Amino acid sequence: MAKRNVLEYVSRPAEAVIALILIMFIVFFAQFLVTELVWLYTYEKPSPPIYPDDPQWRIHRAAKHFLPDGTMHLVHRTDAQDDGDYTKEEITDVNGDILWQGIRKERPFKYLEWESSPREYAEFYGEQQISRMLLSPPLPCVLEVPVKVGEKVKEVWQYDLEAQVFAGYSIKVGLMGYLGANGFALSKAQAQPLGKFEGLALWTDEDPSSIVMLGVTKRRIYQIDFRTHKVETVFDSGQTDIESIRWHRWRPMNPKDSNSSDIQYRPLIDCRTADRRQHLIMREPNQVLTVELPEQMQTRQTSGHWPFKVDFTATSDALFMQYRENHFNPPKSHKLLEQYQREYASKPRPQSLQLYKVIDDGKMELVKQLDWIRPVWEKPYPADSREIIMKWASTMSPPVFDLLWYLFGDSLYEFGSEGVSTMRMMQAYAVIIIEFRPRYSSLNCVLSTAMMMIAFWHGWSRRTSWGKLFVWLVLVGAFNLAGLLAYLALNHTTVIKCPVCGRGRGLERVDCVRCGAELPVPERRKLDLIFDT
Amino acid sequence: MIDEIVLETQGLTKYYGNVLAVDHIDLKIPRGCICGFVGRNAAGKTTAIKLMLGLLNPTAGSSKLLGCDSTALTPAIRQRIGYVTEGHRLFGWMSIVELERFQRAFFPEQWDGKFFAEMIEYFGLRRKQKVKHLSNGQRAQVSLALALSPNPELLIMDDPTLGLDAAIRRQFLSGMIEIIMREGRTILFSSHILGDVERVADRIVVIDKGVIRADCKLEQFRTAVKKVILAFEDSVPLQVDIDGLLHCGRSENELALILVGAGDDKIAELAKSTGAERYHIVNMNLEDQFIEYTAPTSRGKLFRWEEI
Amino acid sequence: MRFLALLKKELRECLPWAVSAAAFLLLFGSLELRSRLQRDVDEYQYRVFERYSEVSGYELGKYPLGDVGLLVFVSAVGLGLALGVRQFWFADFTGTWGFILHRSTHRTTILAAKICAALISLIVAVGLILCYLFWRASLPDYSPVPPPIGSLIGGWMICGIGLLFYLGAGLAGLSKARWYTTKLAGLGFTVWMFFTFTQQWTLWWSFGTLVIGTGVLLYLMWETFLKREF
């Protein structure tokens, strides 16, 4: 008997936790479903925003581009919607004088292009994705890079996740060798590991049968040409870690599409390291330049709002940098972000766009600067109706999520948006907590209290112990509807009428919880033939 | 020899949901007893047996087999108990010889292989026959053989003759008698067939709606429950006053009384006091006695012929 | 001796399902490998890349054993579910719990025999067949590019998933709760563990998920089996 009780001390909580979590997912799904259905039913297409007729707004909303000589143009969209190459545009100079009008694909000006949009590893596929490929059901898969001659596959290079090298197999001969950090090696022991990839990109050039790979590890950037079996160390950061990579025109572009202008670009990789330095790796000719940006130009590690303030591009004539300053300095806490955004929008804010030329010694020369004021916009964007519906649906969410948000909101946000470097399930849980946390805390608490009262009323006649009932009440209070449903699922035991006091009583105890009477012994009839034999 | 109690229950109670299946059963079965456990359908017999064997957990009360709590029967105790399940549920895919091998593994020292083989031969079964190809009766025979071969001290059988024809039942009971003849063996069996109980049991326990209504020697029960018919010249008296009156049935000239524990002299006195012309005590078998004893107090007649 | 008798009985009951799963995997796995033999290298020949284009890592991802992985998954999960139902649901219908439980052995031993039989069935019917298919695919005459050992380890992990589903189905079968309350919680937990397993980044984390899931389900199953009414 004692052994079984010990087992129950572990199994009962385990059952409760499992039931609670599963029911919580069901409740979340129901909340999501309700939100989507109501949104679908009530959806109205929003009308396009109307901006005030203010010269500063016009400057602020215009796309700002530079010509290679440093001249700045403002490109204004005259259509309500962006129609791609057929969008109607008007190009002015910084004074507002109209230079040209027409559709985008017929622009007469060729502006400087900049490195990719500011997302880490935007075009890269992380090592985690490679390793995840090894685990994804139904069965692991591997990264294999083929090398063709004409139509026929001549070699296949297979990535070895453990050894962190590529193993090469010839179709005719079999295993040929390995590609590691030290290039081609005949044996695995001789091949140096490339290191754990944080990102990689693959592309073809003029010859589509050969693939080139750019792989980024913590300290190095490699370029691997599988046809020539060459491994080039493009950049070695030494003792400091590589934080982010962006590139421009590094992979070869189709001559037809790449540059139908006079601007000749140099391939460029912009590598930022943990010591807050930007390393610019260029080709044609090969050059590595290290730039130390002033503090105000440094990328801010916040919630992802405009983290990159500077962009680089390298032409055959010069290396340019554009610096955008909007004085948007949100607090580190994501919980205060929304309030800060409202405050930011409520006042006029100075904006600035500056073009610099980067000299060979890493110093920068200002070429052009445009300053303007972003006015207050009194008519904000309409609120997302989904958000409004979710606010009401979230009143059924667990109050404990609200508590977690209050205590660890910033960490949850960071954890939830960190991307591929963390466990995806933990990231998913963080996102669930953020998305489903109660928005109306007071109403949520009231509902939770109501759930607790229902649980108490249900459990009063059934309880085996005050302790157990108390624990369940705490769980119901913390998890709201999910807690109540879990409680009912695990505690719906029979209630019978006590023959002594006439009120409901459970059967888990021998005695009635109301009057203390035990289950009555049946009445012996006079005619019962019960003899002691 | 002091009677050792091999099966004891105290206040054994079981609820299924809010349905009371077994209500405060108090039983003491001594060693060497052959106890017939009888009751109507849904009286609680199978539930009581399962509680005793630890297959169900009681809502209240306790039960002991061979001195061990039923909810914690040790393997050593289970080894001394034979159990024949209701309906003789066995593994259909096994053959008789495979079943024997399986069962024998749990009784390495006490298994009587020769006895098992003899029983199978006696029942006319083939050892390689699969259970799923056996009839109800044949399965019952195999069940009995499996239960008896380990030579158990206590044999518990839940409606072992259910669905068997008379000949098979006779054979089955012969097997039971075999074990009865072994000294110190105890049997508890539930049955709907009172003839079987009458044949082998020396003690009867009657359960009705989960409550024990009779727990005595068979002879005591047989003697105690009587049916008396009083015939009257004129009208039948409306009220009858006698100790032990269970039921009273009236027709035009007769009064049928079911009496419990009333002696012959009391019956004669009643006949005289009510002015009955004549009376006689009906010769009932155990089945008739059981039916009358467990009949509801206010029972109606369903069929027209019953009113004649 | 008692445990062996129980184990033999359980293995015999698992046998038809294990044989079916093994036959399914062997037959269709072999067919899949055979068809891959013809198209393995050809796949890259037909996979034409554009000039001057990006190539997605996922385009270059290749399942070394083709759809064998899917077959292993289906076999493992199917066998696990079938054995869970056979061992823990079927006895309710046939009414044989009384016969099996009134044994001169602990209930834990009876449960252990069932679980061991299921584990052996999964290992033999799915795991060993997978090993054979892997070996076959590793032969030089089959493909110039052998499958990496990681795909075999991953395949065995999938067998572990089958064990999870077996335990989940068994726990659901043992549960006396109503179906609309927590009867299927065991299976729900299994599905949750399965998704957690698929979201891990490394083999070790996946293995850890399997271990945790198996441990929880085993414990709950053991405790339920000990106290359950039959």
ipTM of the complex: 0.84
Can you give the pTM of this predicted structure?
0.86
Contact (Cβ atoms closer than 8 angstroms) between residue B200 and residue B230? no
Residue A336 domain boundaries: 306-381
Would you call B216 and A530 a contact, using CB atoms and an 8 Å cutoff?
Answer: yes
- Number of A to B CB contacts under 8 A, please give it: 58
Cα–Cα nearest to A98, from A68, A76, A79, A81: A76
Mean pLDDT of B1-8: 76
pLDDT for A127: 52
pLDDT for C117: 97
Q: Which two tokens stand for residue B28?
A: 């003491």
User: Cα-Cα-Cα-Cα dihedral of C59, C60, C66, C72, to 10°?
Assistant: -90
More confident residue, A394 or B179: A394
Q: What are the Cα distances from residue B55, in Å, to A19, B90, C221?
A: 27, 17, 17
* Amino acid present at B61: G
Closest residue in C to B16 (Cα) is C229
| Residue C58 confidence (pLDDT) above 80 | no
Q: What are the Cα distances from residue B195, in Å, to A518, B35, B36, B142, B143?
A: 39, 14, 11, 22, 21
Would you call A137 and C158 a contact, using CB atoms and an 8 Å cutoff?
Answer: yes
| Residue A40 confidence (pLDDT) above 70 | yes
Contact (Cβ atoms closer than 8 angstroms) between residue A114 and residue A313? yes
Cα–Cα nearest to B36, from B177, B218, B161: B218
Query: Would an 8 Å CB–CB cutoff place A149 in contact with chain C?
Result: no
Mean pLDDT, chain B, integer:
87
Q: DSSP letter string over chain B?
A: -PPPEEEEEEEEEEEETTEEEEEEEEEEEETT-EEEEEE-TTSSHHHHHHHHTTSS--SEEEEEETTEEGGG--HHHHTTEEEE-TT----TTSBHHHHHHHHHTT-TTT--HHHHHHHHHHTT--TT-BGGGS-HHHHHHHHHHHHHTT--SEEEEESTTTT--HHHHHHHHHHHHHHHTSTT-EEEEEES-HHHHHHH-SEEEEEETTEEEEEEEHHHHHHHEEEEEEE-SSPPPS----TTEEEEEE-SSEEEEEEES--HHHHHHHHHHHT-SEEEEE---HHHHHHHHHS-SS----SGGGG-
Which positions in chain A touch B246 (Cβ < 8 Å)? 527
Report the neighbours of A using a cutoff of 3 or more CB pairs below 8 angstroms: B, C
pLDDT for C85: 95
Which positions in chain C touch B93 (Cβ < 8 Å)? 12-13
Report the neighbours of C using a cutoff of 3 or more CB pairs below 8 angstroms: A, B
Contact (Cβ atoms closer than 8 angstroms) between residue A527 and residue B261? yes
CA–CA separation, B210 and B224 (whole Å): 22
CA atoms within 13 A on the CB side of C93: 8
CATH topology of domain B5-209: Rossmann fold (3.40.50)
Which positions in chain C touch A208 (Cβ < 8 Å)? 48-51, 53
Which positions in chain A touch C60 (Cβ < 8 Å)? 143-146, 202, 211
A121 and A98 belong to one structural domain: no
- pLDDT tens-digit profile of A398-410? 999 999 988 888 8
pLDDT for C44: 62
* Amino acid present at B274: T
Instruction: Among B60, B212, B221, select the one facing A510 at the smallest CB separation.
Output: B60
Distance from CA of C85 to the nearest CA of B (A): 16
Closest residue in A to B210 (Cα) is A522
Instruction: Return the minimum-mean-pLDDT range out of A90-99, A197-206, C221-230.
Output: A197-206
- pLDDT tens-digit profile of B5-54? 999 999 999 999 888 999 999 999 999 889 999 999 899 999 999 999 99
Distance from CA of C90 to the nearest CA of A (A): 24
Closest residue in B to C229 (Cα) is B56
A8 and A120 belong to one structural domain: no
Q: Which two tokens stand for residue C228?
A: 């359950």
Q: How many other CB atoms are found less than 10 A from the CB of residue C35?
A: 12
CA–CA separation, B260 and B244 (whole Å): 5
What are the residue ranges spanned by the domains of chain B? 5-209, 223-307
pLDDT for B1: 43
Q: Which residues pair with A278 in a beta bridge?
A: A272, A291
pLDDT for A308: 67
Tokens 């669930």 sit at which residue? A432
Total number of domains constituting chain A: 5
More confident residue, B131 or A304: B131
Tokens 């995997």 sit at which residue? C25
Distance from CA of A461 to the nearest CA of B (A): 14
Quickly state the pLDDT bin for A122 (edges 50, 70, 90): very low
Segment of A72-81, A490-499, B127-136 carrying the highest mean pLDDT: B127-136
What's the length of chain C? 230
Instruction: Among A495, A528, A532, select the one facing B213 at the smallest CB separation.
Output: A528
| Residue A119 confidence (pLDDT) above 50 | no
Q: Which two tokens stand for residue A82?
A: 């962006």
Domain annotation covers residue A233: yes
> C101-113 b/e with 16+ CB inside 10 Å = b?
bbbbbebeebbbb
More confident residue, C170 or C148: C170
pLDDT for C171: 95
Instruction: Among B11, B13, B215, select the one facing A530 at the smallest CB separation.
Output: B215
- pLDDT tens-digit profile of A59-118? 988 999 999 888 999 999 887 777 888 889 999 998 889 999 999 888 899 899 888 743
Tokens 């300095």 sit at which residue? A329
Would you call C102 and B108 a contact, using CB atoms and an 8 Å cutoff?
Answer: no
Mean pLDDT of B247-262: 84
* Amino acid present at B102: F
Which positions in chain B touch A529 (Cβ < 8 Å)? 206, 213-216, 220-221, 224-225, 260-261
CA–CA separation, B284 and B222 (whole Å): 9
- pLDDT tens-digit profile of A509-523? 777 877 888 888 888
- pLDDT tens-digit profile of B174-202? 777 776 666 678 999 998 888 888 888 98
Residues 6 or more apart whose Cβ sits within 8 Å of residue C113: C3, C6, C7, C9, C10
CA–CA separation, B218 and C49 (whole Å): 95
Q: Percent of chain B, pLDDT > 70?
A: 94
A173 and A143 belong to one structural domain: yes
| Residue B308 confidence (pLDDT) above 50 | no
pLDDT for A530: 86
Mean pLDDT of A417-436: 74
Closest residue in C to A424 (Cα) is C199
Residues 6 or more apart whose Cβ sits within 8 Å of residue C118: C10, C14, C80, C83, C84, C87, C163, C166
Would you call C144 and A142 a contact, using CB atoms and an 8 Å cutoff?
Answer: no
Residue A216 is inside which H or E element, if any? strand A211-216
Would you call A507 and B244 a contact, using CB atoms and an 8 Å cutoff?
Answer: no
pLDDT for A493: 78
Q: Where are the alpha helices (DSSP H) in A43-155?
A: 55-61, 127-135
Closest residue in A to C196 (Cα) is A425
pLDDT for A247: 85
| Residue B67 confidence (pLDDT) above 50 | yes
Query: Would an 8 Å CB–CB cutoff place C230 in contact with chain B?
Result: yes
Mean pLDDT of B228-234: 87
Which positions in chain C touch B107 (Cβ < 8 Å)? 104
* Amino acid present at A488: L
Would you call C144 and A7 a contact, using CB atoms and an 8 Å cutoff?
Answer: no
Instruction: Return the minimum-mean-pLDDT range out of A348-362, A433-447, B159-173, C214-228.
Output: B159-173
Residues 6 or more apart whose Cβ sits within 8 Å of residue B235: none
Contact (Cβ atoms closer than 8 angstroms) between residue A77 and residue A88? yes
Query: Would an 8 Å CB–CB cutoff place A138 in contact with chain C?
Result: yes
Phi and psi angles of residue C41, each rounded to the nearest 5 degrees, phi first: -75, -35
Query: Would an 8 Å CB–CB cutoff place C7 in contact with chain B?
Result: no
Query: Would an 8 Å CB–CB cutoff place A136 in contact with chain C?
Result: yes
Mean pLDDT, chain A, integer:
83
pLDDT for C42: 62
pLDDT for B114: 92
Q: Which two tokens stand for residue C7?
A: 């184990």
Which positions in chain B touch C8 (Cβ < 8 Å)? 102
CA–CA separation, C41 and A155 (whole Å): 10
Instruction: Among A123, A136, A205, select the one facing C52 at the smallest CB separation.
Output: A205
Instruction: Among A7, A18, A258, select the one facing C223 at the smallest CB separation.
Output: A7
Query: Would an 8 Å CB–CB cutoff place B3 in contact with chain A?
Result: no
- pLDDT tens-digit profile of C75-87? 999 999 999 999 9
CA–CA separation, C192 and A18 (whole Å): 10
Which positions in chain B touch A518 (Cβ < 8 Å)? 60
Measured CB to CB, residues of chain A less than 8 Å from chain B are 1, 494-496, 507, 510, 518-519, 521-522, 525-533
Instruction: Among C1, C106, C229, select the one facing B105 at the smallest CB separation.
Output: C1
Domain annotation covers residue A271: no
At the second CATH level, the architecture of B223-307 is: 2-Layer Sandwich (3.30)
pLDDT for A450: 95
Would you call C154 and A140 a contact, using CB atoms and an 8 Å cutoff?
Answer: yes
Q: Which two tokens stand for residue C225?
A: 């089996």
Distance from CA of A216 to the nearest CA of C (A): 14
Query: Would an 8 Å CB–CB cutoff place B242 in contact with chain A?
Result: no
Mean pLDDT of A305-313: 73
Contact (Cβ atoms closer than 8 angstroms) between residue A296 and residue A318? no
CA–CA separation, B245 and B226 (whole Å): 10
CA–CA separation, A468 and A487 (whole Å): 11
CA-based angle A22:A27:A28, to the nearest 5?
95
Instruction: Among A519, A528, A529, select the one facing B13 at the smallest CB separation.
Output: A519
Q: Which two tokens stand for residue B221?
A: 């029960």
Contact (Cβ atoms closer than 8 angstroms) between residue B227 and residue B292? yes
Query: Would an 8 Å CB–CB cutoff place A508 in contact with chain C?
Result: no
pLDDT for C123: 96
Mean pLDDT of B67-95: 91
Q: At CB < 8 A and 24+ separation, what contacts does C92-95 make? A: C92/C173, C94/B89, C94/B92, C95/B85, C95/B86, C95/B87, C95/B89
Residues 80-109 of C with CB under 8 A from A: none
Q: What are the Cα distances from residue B2, in Å, to A44, B5, B179, B184, B282?
A: 92, 9, 21, 12, 39
- pLDDT tens-digit profile of B24-35? 999 999 998 899
Closest residue in C to A209 (Cα) is C49
More confident residue, B185 or C120: C120
Segment of A456-470, B86-100, C133-147 carrying the highest mean pLDDT: B86-100
Instruction: Return the minimum-mean-pLDDT range out of A351-360, B124-133, C28-37, C79-88.
Output: C28-37
Closest residue in A to B214 (Cα) is A529
Phi and psi angles of residue B298, each rounded to the nearest 5 degrees, phi first: -110, 95
CA–CA separation, C107 and C2 (whole Å): 12
Residues 58-77 of C with CB under 8 A from A: 58, 60-65, 67-73
More confident residue, A506 or A220: A220
